[in-house]
Amino acid sequence: MLILGLDPSLSSTGWGVIRAEGARISHIANGQVKTDPAAPLPERLAALQAGLAEVIAAHRPTRAAAEEIFVNKNPQSTLKLAQARGCVLAACGMAGLAVNEHAARLVKKAVTGTGGAEKVQVAAMVKVLLPGVQIAGSDAADALAVAIADAHLSPRS
């Protein structure tokens, strides 16, 4: 089974694809879909959705997993994150992919053993769990962590 992990963001959405065969996981690909911060919001959202559609078409995952939304101290940041997340879910929906959603604390706990792990700890454990992986950036590391957590936490389908 191929699992597409997603770390939604308006500026840089991370993605990672892993293969899960029973308890064994292996790295397929990872990257980031970045948007131009100077572009109008509708263009950024369209670019994000189109970029993820390309990733899905190229790797043909069986299912997807995304981090649940969290509330920032800044309401504008939360709204932008929610809009980006909507594009991420829409891209999956257009491809007919089921999306499992996981809280960030649960993802961190599944990958590192503690729900309060820092980004650096998550990236380090992703490298341990996927030996030889070249991670495209911190957003891609988070997306791979989401995929790994999903492989362990969600029922097989």
Mean pLDDT of the chain: 92
Structure confidence by residue, pLDDT tens digits, 79-116: 888 899 999 999 999 999 999 999 999 999 999 998 88
Structure confidence by residue, pLDDT tens digits, 14-39: 999 999 998 899 999 999 999 999 99
Distance of CA 108 to CAs 76, 87, 104, 126, Å?
A: 25, 24, 6, 10
Rg of the Cα trace of the chain?
14
The catalytically annotated residue of 43, 67, 68, 150 is 67
The catalytically annotated residue of 7, 21, 68, 118 is 7
Question: Is 7 a known active-site residue?
Answer: yes
Asked whether the beta carbons of 135 and 10 are under 8 A apart, the reply is no
Question: What is the CATH number for 134?
Answer: 3.30.420.10
Question: Which of the 8 DSSP states describes residue 111?
Answer: H
Number of domains in the chain: 1
Grade residue 154 by pLDDT with cuts at 50, 70 and 90: confident
Question: Is 139 a known active-site residue?
Answer: yes
Mean pLDDT over 66-85 rounds to 82
Domain with 133 in it: 2-153
